[in-house]
Each structure stands twice: as structure tokens, then as C-alpha cells.
Structure 1
Amino acid sequence: MRTIFKTVLAVFVSISSSSLFAQHKDFTQFVNPYIGSAGHGHVFVGANVPNGAVQLGPSQISQTWDKFNGWDWCSGYNYKSEEILGFTHTHLSGTGIGDLNDILILPANGKQHIQQAPFNKMNEGYGSKISKQNESVSPGYYKVLLEDYNILAELTSSERVGYHKYTFNKKDNPHLVIDLSFKMNWDKPTETYLKLVNDSTIVGYRFSTGWANDQKVYFAIKSNTKFKKVDFYNDSTAVLGYHVAKGQNIKAILAIDPTNPVELKVGLSPVSTKNALENIATEIPYWDFETAKNKAKEKWNDVLGKIDFKADDNTKTIFYTAFYHSYFAPTIFSDVNGDYMGTDKQVYNDKQHQNYTVFSLWDTYRALHPLMTILEDKKSKDFVSSMLKIYQQQGKLPVWHLWANETNTMVGLPAIPVIADAILKGIIDENEIELAYEAIKSTAMGHDNGLKYVRDLKHIPIEHMDHESVAWALEYAIADFGAYQAAKFLGKTTDAEYFEKRYKLYEQYFDQEMGHFVGRHENGNFRRPFDPLMAKHRANDYCEGNAWQYTWLVPQDVHGLISLFGGDKQFLKKLDEFIALPEHLDDASPDISGMIGQYAQGNEPNHHVPYLYAYAGEQWKGAALVHKAMTKYYTNEPAGLCGNDDAGQMSAWYVFSSMGIYPANPMDGKYIFGSPLMEEASIQLPNGKTFHIKVKNYGKNNIYVNKATLNGKNHSNTYITHNDILNGGELIFEMSAKPNKKFGANKTFRP
């Protein structure tokens, strides 16, 4: 009996230790937050938690606007900068338009400045030089030495609260600068306000216009040390009176005692200063920076641990950094009590769903949202619910939603694929299904941007839309496939028949003579002259692309596209030609980047292209292309992204692709095989099951799938389904350095 007891105890201890190890595994050590912070990646660098409203980090001087320089500070930070003006609480990550960088705070000493320093003249205003050897960042934590002041700044955060810790090594006239007039990129303040509540609390708001036309952010600042003196300013003019200041450019200088490290908790709210204070009291009620920092790290490990990815250290770092960036947006946009600001600028309350904003949908409908449907069913429900609220408040589904503002940025109706996919996958509350379909149909039946022609099953004439008509039309067709799928799923037969015709309208733009989608006149004639390589921004029929890059934008009906070319052979020949073209563009948008031939990995309309080969029976060619894109354009360097990260879409593409699968059509529940980069990946599913992907013959030269098995059985299909993943189990890729051209060649086994 003792022997049995000892054996059972040993097994129990072994299992417990194993579980404990998995539970406490530190995935954050494999994240390099600097990836994408140089060049055109535009990623946020600072302290945040997954999908947090607060993204607390440095804001730098946006350098001159010659060519790309100013553009490369869309997030407020670029790796090559060697100065910091202050720390702001909201940022965008990976976008091509800049905004936010709200509520600037800077610890300082010596001479007091209320105007920011100009570029390369740090002694003429507030701000400090920094050096990379004195800066570090990890998930949930940022640290830097402000060299001009000899102040060590440390930052962490919760969802709605930014936590600052400043250690003053130099104590000459120590003070804090608060600048509500601080602006970056397109943003500028319209009304700002500060109120001294007591000797350690300040509240206020900042209203502004920019990319978000009418942004409102309320805040509260609590300090662990008393303010010895507070001076308010409107721009450079002192504001008489001690407690309140209101104007367009309100600032404050707070004299403090730096005997001990100065700590600040800054709560944000889209609704009120009262709610901002409640957010602080609820999320970080204590004064303990290390505890807050460790909790932020735990939150990152919770999400990063959803995929246990095993590969060489370099690939592992690129993977986990991409995974990390996939959780920067959408961001929380409500208070702990459920209050949020609607697009109609009314205050609402929802305790059932978390409300979100920062929906970069033209980018993220392709991979980021499908990734979340696997990993985050609750968040995915909340994303959809947030979009439905936006629909109710503004009369259409969001296009690019930013802090209670519709920016109407980019083309098409990109919320429809996300919501349709949620309906098909059952990731939506039952009581919202009819509202979801109503939102899809109502939005699809609009009139703007050529929709009035689409409604009548006609092409959009270039007389009506002198540029981007093809881009709009192709994106509409993708959204219309979502409407078709949702209608069919819900038994709305008449609607399904109508939207089936609409999602095939792409055929009307196919110019057989040129072999491309081309804009058409009202009389039906195709645009002439025509140059398929011309990519001049806002001067052709495409958005951030050319005819070659838009030739493949039919993920909803790839076999229909193949038929337009006359069959598999001609389609594959055209794809091969596309990849072999010169990597050259004249006077093109900088978004068109990461070139392999004319394939542009750096821009979303091409993200599904490597996987099209599988539809025509040559999966091995897609494997070679996707492997080249992953290894050439995703690196463990600050310039390790070939384009804007686009609120996580570029990163989500890599997360999928490095595991060997990708949702080429984000609305049919199929994940097409590519070329896995890892030895093994274990996906922890919300239903408690695990889906394993294992790679036999793992090696840098073994880029081709020789064969696959699913749950121990030979798997001849060149794809798996969403249900295959959710059911748990094991997919095994057997890799080879030489292509198995028979794998997926038979039409029976193609997606």
C-alpha cells in the first residue's frame, strides 16, 4: 500500500509540477517590442495590456515631412529618434494616419519650460535626449533614462489606468509638466480643461479634432506625493486663479518633492472625470508599481500562452512579437461601470458586453478577426456587439472607427465580413443575430461611394468615381459574399439569391483583352489607355495598388476567378508571371511594400495571394511564396516589418502563416495550408480543448508539405476547417526540401 501511495504521489507531483510549469511559463521573454518601430512599421512602443484603452508610452518629435519622415511617427515613436518630449496615454499602432498621443506628462527639473523643445534644440523647451542603451521595453513595461534631467522613468498600465514611476537622480527644481495642447500628426486640441481637486489629485479633459473629428478623453491624475505648487497656463499665458483652467491649450507645472520616487496613476474615460477616478480605484487601488507591473505581465502571458509555439529562438521571437502586436487593437472603450460614448456623442451603458473602438477593418477582417474567432470567442462577441451599437448610433456599420468617430477611411464595407463570419461560426449572442443581419443588409443597401450602382447590379462607372472604382467594387463583392452567406445561413432565401448576384459583380470589371480588372465607363467600355503596373496614389482604379495587385482580390470566389482566366493552367501561369515581374513601382503609395515581383506583402489586398495556388492544384508554389514572404520581410530587427502593421493585421498574417495555415477567404471557415516555420504549435481553445500542429522533418530548407495527417488519418485536403480546430486534435505536416507536386493536385482535395 505504501508503494502504491508513493507511486500515486510521485505521479501527482509530476503532473502538478508540469501544470505549474505550463501555467507560469514566461512567454513575454520572447517578445521584442522594437520590431516594427523603425521604418514604416509604425508600431506602438510603451506599456499596455491586451486590448487596453491605455497605451502609455513616449511621444517624440516628429521630424521633417520630407518624403516619409513625419509619416513614420504615426504612433508617436520611431526607433531612430533620440529624444522624448513626454509620455502620453493613447497611441495608435501600425496605422498610416496619425492621431491620439493624448494627455502628455513629463517629469523635469532645472529651468521650467511650458513649450516643447523644437527638433535638435532640446535646451529650448521641455523634453530630453535619450539613448537606446538606457531604454528598455517589454510587454506591459517601459523604462528610459531622461538624460537631460537624469530622471529614470518607468511606466506600466492596466486596461484604463497608466501608472508612472519617476526616480529623480537630480533634484534641482523638480516638477511635472502636464501639456494638454501637445499634438502629433493630424491632431489638434479644440478645448482643454484642468481642475485641482486636492493637493494630490487633478482631473480634466482634452477635446480635439484630427483623424477622429470630435475626440473626447476625460482623465484623472492621482499622485503619491503632494503638489507643493501648481501653475496653470493657457498656451504661454499664466491663468489667474489656483484651482481651474479652461481653454484651447491648457498646461500645468506642478512642483513636487522627489525625496522618494514620484508615482502617478492616470485613469482615462470616454465619459467623465468621475468615471476616470472610479477606473483608478477599481483597477489599481494600491500604491505599488511592481505589483501593477507584474499584473500587466501576467495578462500578457495569459494571452501569449494561448499558443505554445516551438521553433528556433529567432523565429520564436518574431512569432511572439507578432502575436503580441495582434492584441493591440481593437481597444477597450468603456469604463469599469459599463459607461461608454456612442458615435452620436451620447453616453450609453452596457454591462453585458465590453465596448471597443479602433476598428481598422479594411485591414483586420482578413486575418486578425479570424484569429480571434479561434482564440477569443468572448472578445469576438464583444467586437461584434460594439459594431452593432455603432450601426444603431450612426446608421451604418463602422468602416474605420476611432474613439466614437467614424473616419470612413479605406474602401468597401469591411465590417460585414467580420459580422457574417461571426454569424456562421456561432460567435454572436442569439438575441443579436437579427440585429446583426439587419445591420449587414442595411449597410450593404446604402448609396454612397458607388453603392447605388451595386444595388442595381451594375458596375460603378469611372465617371462617377474617377479613381479607386475597381477597389471599391471588389471590396463590395467580398462584403456581399458575407451578406449572401449570412442570408443563406438564416434562411432568408430571397436575400441570399440577390446577394449571390452581387458578390459575383467582380466579373463585370474583368477585361479579357488585358487579363485584369479594369475600370469601366458608363457606356461599358474599359478604361484606355491602361497600364497594369501604374500605381500612382489616387490616380488609378485601385486603392494603394495597381491592376496586377488587384487581379487576385476575389477571395470569396477563387474558382470563379480561375474560370475568368480560362482554367487552372492559365490562372497559374498568370500567378507565376505576377511573382516574376520586376519589383519596381513609379510614384506609388509607400503602403505598397514588401515586394516579391509585384506581390506586395506589406499591403493587405495581397495577403491571401500565396494561398491561391492551392485552389488551382499547386499548393507547393504557394508554400514557396509564403515561406519567402515570412523569412524575407519579418525579421527580429526594429525595421522587421515591411509595411505598416495596420493595427495588427500584418502580425496576425504571420501568426497564421508561420503555423502553416491561413483563412484565405475569411468567411468560409477554411484554413489553407502554406509552409509552417515551427516544430510544433499547441493552440489552447476557449472550449478547453487543444489543437496541436506538429511538423515532421522541421528544417529551414524543408519548406514543402509532402503529406499531412489529421487525428492520425491521412489528410489529402490542402486545408482544414474551423470545426477541425475547435474539435481539438492533431494536424501533422510532413515536410520536404522537394515539392510533392501531387499533394492537393486532385480537384477533390482543393479548397
Structure 2
Amino acid sequence: MITSNFRARLAGVFALTLAVPATPLFAASTAQTTPVDWVDPHIGTAGIGSEYGGTMPLVTTPFGMTNWTPLTRQNRVSVSPYNDADTHIQGFIGTHQPAIWMGDYGYVTLMPELDGLKYAPEARQLKFSHKDEVATPYGYAVTMDSDGRRIRAEMTATDHCGYLRFTFPAKSNAGVLVEATRPGIHGYVEVDVRRHEIRGYNPDRQDADLGPLKLPNFKGYFVVRFRQPFKAQSVYQGVLVRPGNHTQVEGDNVGAYVSFDTAAGQPIEAQVGTSFISLAQAQANLGAELPGWDFDGTRAALKATWNRKLGIFDIDGATTAQRHIFYTGLYHALLYPRLASEHGRYYSAFDDQVHQGVSYTDYSIWDTFRAENSLLTLVAPERIDDMVTALLQDADEGGWMPKWPNPSYTNIMIGTHADSLVAEAIAKGFKGFDWQRAYAAVRKDATVPPDGDTTRRWFDREPHTPYEARAGLTYALKLGYIPADKVAESASSTLEEAYDDYAVAQVAKATGHEQDYAHFLERSLDYRKLFNPARGFMQARNADGSWASPDEGWTEGDQWVYLFAALHDIGGTVALLGGPAAAQTKLDAHFDGGHNHHDNEPSHHYGYLYDFMGAPWKTQARVRAIAADAYSDTPTGILGNEDCGQMSAWYVFTALGFYPVNPASAEYMIGSPLFSRVAVHLPGGRTFTITAKNNSATNVYIQSATLNGKPLDVPVISHAQIVAGGTLDFVMGPRPSRWAAGWRPRPVAAD
């Protein structure tokens, strides 16, 4: 378990005695007394290849634009910059990589060095041990070994800036490398001796080939401001070092190196402003967010910020491991989507221009529309209007709302699930964005095929294609489904886009487009055209109506994973299967046959489906088992990729006792709460409290429930009921009960 290891790391680092002035790495106590103390950013950082959490010990603000992490390997698409198994650090990177399967863009790396410039990662890397490392959301610290001499590095951050502090052995030949670009990436760097600054830009977008836009103006700008004057400086390009009076260089693989007088043994401090607008804006971000030199104060402020946000939840009755998992999961969920605007302006990766306003990026929407976005409506409601507006701005500037901006269109995954984010925000009463403008955007998703729609197969991650939107929509408008002999991933797309049509229908209704509402609601039932009653499964069809192979047409799943993909009409799918008893038998076979893959998002709602079949006690047992099996407080504690908070959002919701199977409905299906009590602190001083009397690892079954003192006999609770404040009380027991077994959902019916 990581509990003992985590505490050992803290104790070991605090006990360090270095050959440098003995200032504490963190002034805070090692005692776990506030919410952020329970966060362990190492959870999800261990694994081989790319099929693991892919998380990083990120130091950042909630939704911060630039995240800071130690760099233990050269990151790229499918490689995160930090892995728990690594033993050397190559630098400290200001990264924008949101997930292991996505790329970084506009990043910058710093590395403390002894005895002169070493620019290559394998030459500059220094050995470290986890026992000499502390990782928290508000600060990171590590002691590295350089041929028996130790260098201490510390980091904290603001929205757009990093603050680093390096402590070298006294009277050493100490320096700091600033890497602007890597081999093959053309960038720029300059040294300003008078201002103690290094400035430059990095235009790398590692996912650039996956989208249609070239973005010639894109650059990640940085200004590194040092507290101490330079003893010497140089710039480099590749293997060529230009010392002395050479203070700037443009080209591939460029950077700068500055050295310092460490006779007094004082730490070297560096503040890094980042921007996607300009060097001047990076400088302005520094001035606005780090106006003085106060590392400890900046770190304390960030700790307070995280405690305010994580403190939305108070939990009782959790084990130590569960506390680590819960609060670390909430930390992961509060990282994305990423802030893309800079004090009232933003660079758009959709028209390559700078605009006024607030913006966000790195929406992993195919993953996060299922639960992560729903969680944000509870824990970060102040952000939702701007997050939706950002998607609408993207549509104005690029033509469509994106499906996976990184930071521009990438054509990764299927569907137009931004429709769900819009519908959910409207259903939950968010009014700070233009609903009519939003309807125009979702209606376009549902009615306008992408360029060259019938001339492409639209394979996943196919490079150099137009924006994919709803691939194969041309066929769907004629046939009611996407044919497998024309378009890749056709069955999954047909089923998921039926839910998108439901979301569009809800937006149409909310904005007064009644005829469109009826039309799209009817279209949302087209998923039924893929049901093969002879086999009892969904199945892809060809353009002539014939059945394709049962193995054809799926996205990261199969016929088992996609049987209940119509999230808006689980009741309708139950009816197709022959009713609740037959559907239960099918769902039992799904789980018992090993078909449930919680490491991927299409399976995330499956544990909650028994609620729709008259067997909520089976949901209660299943979700408890999944929570125990798929999560732990260890570096391997996330089953599958974290995917920008979605894996963690599932756990947080399940711990509370409910989950958004159909996000656009603004309702949650009830499972089995993990803790004896959770208080959710809401805006306006309201509190929603969930209690579970007699709760334990064996008492997983709900015996009875009341909402605000009145009997609750359905396995459903609405968002409106939660945010109004009140109390949801459960009585738990060791055996199944008939609580809520009489509830039946109504299948969606076209008006």
C-alpha cells in the first residue's frame, strides 16, 4: 500500500541533511490534517507502455494553464514526462500534455547543473530516489545526486507561471539550463543579462499531424526571470555552444545556460512566465502573478487554494487508503479542461489569432462527457459557463466545437459529445452562456456532414484529414445508421451519436425549437436499427441493410461493451432485450464473462444498469466491487488511462453513492455510498449531506433511504435536489433488499 510509502517519503525528505543551508523543503507538517494532505500525486504514475494511468505529479492551480512536473523521460504522444519506475531526472518541465495518449505543446524545461553545460537529456540527468522526494499539488521537492554532490530542487506555481528554487552545494560551479526546443523543433532563445532573464519560444505541437490546421502563429512563449545575477551565460544550438557575447539564437534544438556565484550558499530562484500570446504577455503574466520573490508565500497560497477546492467535500468513515484515492481523484478531476486564456485574452488554436475573453482547452470529451464534466458541475460550477462558452468560441473560430482539442482539432475518437456538455449545462440551469448560439453549434453537429464525408473511411487518428465531426453523417441521414462497409467504427458511432441526437433535442427544446426537438428525439431512437434480435446484440450493418461481422465497427470495445451505449434510453434497450429479467440475465453474463472493461470509458456506466432492471441491489454490489478492484492508493492505482479526470470522477461519484448514467438528463443513478458520511459544500452556503448508517465493507446493500426526511423509493436523484442542499440518508445492511426494486424507466418515445 502507498500509505506507508507515502508517509516514509515525507518523513525521509524532511529529515534530509544536505551540504547546503538546512532550510526545510516544506514548512507544513507531515500530519494529514487538511484535504490536500491526502492527495498523493504518485497514484497512477507507474506502468509499462501506455496502458496505465499516465498521470504526473503536477504542481499547478486548479485548471492551471501550465503544469509543472519533474521530467524523467522525454515525453511525446503515448509517453508521459514522469514515470514512477524511473531513477533519473532530466529536467523540470512546464508542460501542457493532458494525457498519456495526447501530446505536449509549447513546453519549456529547466535543469540545475554542476560543472558546466550539459544539454542532452542523457548527459544532464541526475539520479534521485523517491525517499528524497515530496509531491503535492502545491509544491514538489526532490534531492538529486551529481557525483556525490546533492542538488535540491523545489517547485510551486500559479495559473500561468512556475516558481523554481535550486539549492546547490556551497562554492560550486552551479548553473541552470533552459531548454527552449528539442532536436527537430525550430525555436528561439535570448539571454538578457541586465534583467537576469532568458526569453524564448517553442512552436512544437506534438499532435499537429492529427488535425487539419497548420497554425503558423502558434508558439509557446516563456520568460525565465532569475533572482540572482549571472556569473556567465551562453546559448546553444544542437551541439554548438555560443558563449560570451552571443545572447540569442534561432534554430533547431536551442537553449541557454547561465551560471551563478554560490559562495554564499543561497538558493537560486527562477520564475517562469508562460504564454501562447507573446513574450510581452509572458512577461505580463509574471508581473501579475509573481510580483515579488516569495517562494514560500507562493507555495502557501497555492496550498490554500487547493484546500478550498478539495474542501468542498468532508468525508467520514473512509479508510486511509480510501481518503488517498478520493482526494487524489478529486485533484485529478480538477486539472482539466485547462485554462487557455491569459488575464482576459487568449490565443485561439482554431483561427490562429488572439481574442478577448476567457478560454479553455484540453477537453477529452469522448471520455469526460460521461462523468468528469458532471462532477465539475458540482465542484466547479463557477467555471461551467466559461467552459461551454470556450467551446462555442472554438466553433466560431474554427467552424465546429472540438471533440479533443490539444490545443486544436485532433480528430481523435468519435461522436460530437460537446453536444452533451451543452445539454447538461442547460439542464442543470447554467445561464451564463448564449443558449441560442449553443443551439446553432449543436444543430450543425447533427446536420452538417464533414468535408469529404463519403470519400473517406475516417479511421481513428488518421492524419491530415478535415475536421471529422460526425463521420459518415451523410449515410446516417439517409439510412438511419452509419454503414460498416463505408465508414470505420460505424456501429459505435451510430450508437453514441444517437445519444448526441438526444442531447441536441434537449437543447432544441430549451431554446424553443419544438419541431427540431421532436425531429432529433425521434432520430435518437435510430440506435435500435442496429439491434439484431436473432443474436440479442447490437451489430453493424452495411449500406444495403445486411448485417456486417459482429466484430466489425467498434471503437475500443465490442458487442458486449456497446450493448447499452444508448445512455439516454436504457429502458428502451431493456425492452429490446425482452424486459427486465432478460436484460438482467444478459448483464450478468456481461460481468460474469469478463466483458466489463473498467479501464475504458464505454464500460463506466455498466455497474449502474441493474437500477434500470428492477435489481438495484446488484448495482450496489457491482459498483462496490469495481471501486475496490480498479482503484488503489499505489502508483499503479488507476486501472487504465486516467483520461483527464474521467477515471477519477467515476470513483468520486461512486464514493458519494450516485453516478450520471445519462448526463444530459441532469439525473444520477444511485449505487452504494462508500463512506458513512459526506458533506458537499455548495455555493450560497448550502450543504448536501449523504449519510449511510451501518455502512461497512460488508454492509453494501441499501435497506432504505430518505431524502430530506421523506422516503425515497426510486434509485434516482436529480442535480436540482442536490444543489438545493439537504440530506440523503441511507440505511445499509449485509444482505440485498427490495429497496427501489419497483422502479422502471420509461423508454424514450418520439413525440
- 2:192 is aligned to 196
Matches of 1:390 and 1:733, distance apart in 2: 44
Task: Describe the SS at the equivalent of 2:522.
Answer: helix
- 2:446 is aligned to 444
Q: Is 2:499 the counterpart of 1:499?
A: no
1:568-579, aligned counterparts within 5 Å? 568-579=580-591
Letter in 1 for 2:507: A
- 1:135 is aligned to 133
1:658-677, aligned counterparts within 5 Å? 658-677=655-674
Matches of 1:501 and 1:670, distance apart in 2: 21
Moved more, 313-322 or 638-647: 313-322
Letter in 2 for 1:458: G
- 1:147 is aligned to 145
Matches of 2:273 and 2:477, distance apart in 1: 46
1:177-188, aligned counterparts within 5 Å? 177-182=177-182
Matches of 2:380 and 2:287, distance apart in 1: 27
- 1:253 is aligned to 257
- 1:456 is aligned to 478
How far the C-alpha of 1:324 sits from its partner, in A, is 0.8
For residues 389-419 of structure 1, give each alpha carbon's deviation from its aligned partner in whole angstroms, at most 9, with x where no partner exists.
Answer: 001011011110123x111211111111001
- 1:422 is aligned to 425
Q: Is 2:643 the counterpart of 1:646?
A: yes
Matches of 2:432 and 2:58, distance apart in 1: 35
Matches of 1:746 and 1:359, distance apart in 2: 35
Matches of 2:74 and 2:438, distance apart in 1: 41
Letter in 2 for 1:349: Q
2:106–2:204 CA contact under 8 A, matched in 1: no
Moved more, 720-729 or 486-495: 486-495
Matches of 1:157 and 1:61, distance apart in 2: 22
Matches of 2:574 and 2:327, distance apart in 1: 36
Letter in 2 for 1:38: A
1:623–1:674 CA contact under 8 A, matched in 2: yes
- 1:335 is aligned to 342
How far the C-alpha of 1:208 sits from its partner, in A, is 1.1
Matches of 1:48 and 1:654, distance apart in 2: 22
Letter in 2 for 1:392: D
How far the C-alpha of 1:95 sits from its partner, in A, is 3.5
- 1:6 is aligned to none
- 2:41 is aligned to 33
Task: Describe the SS at the equivalent of 1:548.
Answer: coil
- 2:29 is aligned to none
Q: Is 2:229 the counterpart of 1:207?
A: no
The 1:641/1:269 distance shift into structure 2, 3 A limit, reads: same
1:35–1:321 CA contact under 8 A, matched in 2: yes
Matches of 2:109 and 2:249, distance apart in 1: 16
The structure 2 residue matched to 1:521, chosen from 539, 542, 565, is: 542
Q: Is 2:285 the counterpart of 1:279?
A: yes
For residues 573-613 of structure 1, give each alpha carbon's deviation from its aligned partner in whole angstroms, at most 9, with x where no partner exists.
Answer: 100000010xxxxxxxxxxxxxxx21011111111111111
How far the C-alpha of 1:678 sits from its partner, in A, is 0.5
Letter in 2 for 1:502: R
For residues 1-55 of structure 1, give each alpha carbon's deviation from its aligned partner in whole angstroms, at most 9, with x where no partner exists.
Answer: xxxxxxxxxxxxxxxxxxxxxxx96211111111111121101213111111121
How far the C-alpha of 1:199 sits from its partner, in A, is 4.3
1:151–1:170 CA contact under 8 A, matched in 2: no
Matches of 2:351 and 2:145, distance apart in 1: 45
TM-score by length of 1: 0.88
For residues 319-373 of structure 1, give each alpha carbon's deviation from its aligned partner in whole angstroms, at most 9, with x where no partner exists.
Answer: 11111111111111111243433421101011xxx31111111111111111111
2:714–2:743 CA contact under 8 A, matched in 1: no
Q: Is 2:368 the counterpart of 1:370?
A: no
For residues 412-452 of structure 1, give each alpha carbon's deviation from its aligned partner in whole angstroms, at most 9, with x where no partner exists.
Answer: 1111100111122221325x111111111112222131111
1:75–1:93 CA contact under 8 A, matched in 2: no
How far the C-alpha of 1:61 sits from its partner, in A, is 2.2
Letter in 1 for 2:443: K
Moved more, 209-218 or 362-371: 209-218
How far the C-alpha of 1:747 sits from its partner, in A, is 3.0
2:165–2:267 CA contact under 8 A, matched in 1: yes
State the identity %: 32
Matches of 1:162 and 1:750, distance apart in 2: 52
How far the C-alpha of 1:135 sits from its partner, in A, is 1.0
The structure 1 residue matched to 2:68, chosen from 41, 56, 61, is: 56
Matches of 1:525 and 1:409, distance apart in 2: 28
Matches of 2:250 and 2:74, distance apart in 1: 27
Matches of 2:153 and 2:108, distance apart in 1: 16
Q: Is 2:333 the counterpart of 1:326?
A: yes
How far the C-alpha of 1:267 sits from its partner, in A, is 0.7
Matches of 2:100 and 2:559, distance apart in 1: 24
- 2:615 is aligned to 618
How far the C-alpha of 1:101 sits from its partner, in A, is 7.8
2:106–2:201 CA contact under 8 A, matched in 1: no
2:368–2:645 CA contact under 8 A, matched in 1: yes
The structure 2 residue matched to 1:484, chosen from 499, 502, 505, is: 505
Letter in 2 for 1:316: R
Matches of 2:205 and 2:38, distance apart in 1: 38
How far the C-alpha of 1:170 sits from its partner, in A, is 5.7
The structure 2 residue matched to 1:348, chosen from 344, 355, 361, is: 355
How far the C-alpha of 1:242 sits from its partner, in A, is 2.3
- 1:66 is aligned to none
How far the C-alpha of 1:94 sits from its partner, in A, is 3.9
1:721-736, aligned counterparts within 5 Å? 721-736=718-733
Instruction: Could you tell me which runs of 5 or more consecutive residues in structure 2 were left unpaired when the two chains were aligned.
Output: 1-31, 210-214, 451-470
Instruction: Could you tell me which runs of 5 or more consecutive residues in structure 1 were left unpaired when the two chains were aligned.
Output: 1-23, 64-69, 118-124, 532-539, 582-596
Matches of 2:366 and 2:712, distance apart in 1: 33
For residues 100-148 of structure 1, give each alpha carbon's deviation from its aligned partner in whole angstroms, at most 9, with x where no partner exists.
Answer: 481111001024312221xxxxxxx111111111111012111111212
Q: Is 2:715 the counterpart of 1:712?
A: no
Matches of 2:109 and 2:70, distance apart in 1: 9
Aligned residues: 680
Task: Describe the SS at the equivalent of 1:181.
Answer: coil
- 1:16 is aligned to none
Matches of 2:194 and 2:67, distance apart in 1: 26
2:111–2:178 CA contact under 8 A, matched in 1: yes
How far the C-alpha of 1:172 sits from its partner, in A, is 3.3
- 2:20 is aligned to none
The structure 2 residue matched to 1:389, chosen from 389, 393, 401, is: 393
- 1:606 is aligned to 603
Letter in 2 for 1:469: S
- 1:593 is aligned to none
Matches of 1:234 and 1:192, distance apart in 2: 10
Letter in 1 for 2:532: D
How far the C-alpha of 1:688 sits from its partner, in A, is 2.4
Task: Describe the SS at the equivalent of 1:706.
Answer: strand
Matches of 1:623 and 1:383, distance apart in 2: 33
Task: Describe the SS at the equivalent of 1:51.
Answer: coil
- 1:561 is aligned to 573
TM-score by length of 2: 0.88
Task: Describe the SS at the equivalent of 1:299.
Answer: helix
For residues 618-650 of structure 1, give each alpha carbon's deviation from its aligned partner in whole angstroms, at most 9, with x where no partner exists.
Answer: 111111111011011111111001111000010
